[in-house]
A and B are shown apart, each in its own frame.
Chain A
Amino acid sequence: MNIHKSPISALTRAFSQHKKALMVISLLVLAVSLIAYCFWSKQAWEGYSHSTRQRSESARNAIDAALALPASNDEQRKLKYDTVVTASSDITKGEDSACNLNPLIQWQRSLGFLNLATIVNDCNTEKEKLGALNGDLKKVIAYIGDEQAVASLLENVKPKSSDLLVDSSWADQLKLWESFSATIGARKVSSEFTATKALVQERSSVVEAAWREVIAAHGAKDKSRYLKSQTALVSSYAALNTIPDMSNRYLLNLISSFRNLYGQAFK
Chain B
Amino acid sequence: MRLKFFITGSMILSVATGLVISTQFSSALTSEQSSKIDSEVISMQTLPTTIKAIEAPKLADPEWLKQQNAAEAAAAQKNKEPATRVVTYDVSSKGLITANFTEFKTLANASLNDARGWARMGIVFREVSSGGMFTLVLSEAGQVSSFSSGCGVEYSCRVGRNVIINQDRWIGATASWNQAGGSLRDYRHMVVNHETGHWLGHDHESCGGTGQAAPVMQQQSISLQGCRFNPWALDSELWSTTLGIKRS
Chain A residues close to B by CB (< 8 Å)? 27, 30-31, 34-35, 38-39, 41-46, 49-50, 53, 67-68, 70-72, 74, 77, 80-81, 84, 108, 111, 113-116, 118-119, 122, 140, 144, 147-148, 150-152, 154-155, 157-159, 162, 164-167, 170, 173, 214, 218, 221, 223, 226, 230, 233-234, 236-238, 240-241, 243-244, 247-248, 251-252, 255, 258-260, 262-264, 267
Q: Are A263 and B44 in contact (CB under 8 A)?
A: no
Our pick among A68, A165, A264 for the contact of B40 (Cβ within 8 Å) is: A68
Q: Are B41 and A67 in contact (CB under 8 A)?
A: yes
B25: chain A residues within 8 A (beta carbon):
267
The residue of chain A having its C-beta at the shortest distance from the C-beta of B43 within the complex is A71
Name 29 A/B residue pairs within 8 A (Cβ), A-sorted: A30-B3, A31-B7, A38-B11, A42-B18, A49-B19, A50-B20, A67-B37, A67-B40, A71-B44, A80-B43, A114-B16, A114-B19, A116-B15, A140-B41, A144-B45, A165-B58, A221-B68, A230-B59, A234-B56, A236-B56, A238-B56, A240-B54, A244-B48, A247-B47, A251-B45, A255-B37, A262-B29, A263-B33, A264-B27
Interface centre among B15, B48, B52 (most CB of A within 10 A): B15
The residue of chain A having its C-beta at the shortest distance from the C-beta of B26 within the complex is A267
Closest 6 A/B residue pairs (Cβ) = A237-B56, A244-B48, A164-B60, A71-B43, A49-B20, A151-B50
Our pick among B19, B44, B65 for the contact of A119 (Cβ within 8 Å) is: B19
Q: Are A233 and B53 in contact (CB under 8 A)?
A: no
B15: chain A residues within 8 A (beta carbon):
38, 41-42, 45, 108, 111, 114, 116
B51 interface contact, C-beta 8 A: yes
A84: chain B residues within 8 A (beta carbon):
44
B3: chain A residues within 8 A (beta carbon):
27, 30-31
